[in-house]
Amino acid sequence: MPIDTIACCVDFSENANVAFDAALEMADRFNARLYIIHVVPPEVNPIMADSLLKSQSEDQASLILKIETRMQEEYGDRVGDDKDYDLVVMDGHVSTEIIRYLSEKDIDLVVLGAYGLTGMGLVVFGSVAKRISHKAPCSVMIVRSREKAEGSSPVT
């Protein structure tokens, strides 16, 4: 199976960093183009007035700019100048946007951490890794940090 394009989904968590390291290693090994993806989930408030919606979209644009800067610092600078990569920031439903992007760009492999959001965020948004593993149009590599994997109880 040729691997020419790899996407890595990041949310700035420890697990995303482990996934990024794995994706970068795979991109080096296969000389593949690397897409580093972050999706900003929507802030849903059904009783928000129309006048607030406009200021929220302006705030969203500012937030996306900040995230692009942070992605460059945390991921882009680690890739290096000799590697073919794109930093991608989108907003919307996280797994839906990722799956759409994977199809759009005809990605060969997507790499993501087993865990991202924790606590209430996980309850509200569900498992992004689970959704992507079930619906992605490409192969999926789910990466776990050694500490989490060693601390897990075996499945019986």
Amino acid at 33: R
pLDDT for res 62: 85
Domains within the chain, CATH numbers bracketed? 5-151 (3.40.50.620)
**pLDDT tens by residue, 86-106:** 999 998 999 999 999 999 999
Between 142 and 151, where is the model more confident? 142
Q: What pTM was estimated for this model as a whole?
A: 0.80
Q: How many residues does the chain have?
A: 156
Q: How far apart are CA 39 and CA 42, in angstroms?
A: 9
Residue 27 above 70 pLDDT? yes
Q: Indicate the SS3 state at residue 8.
A: strand
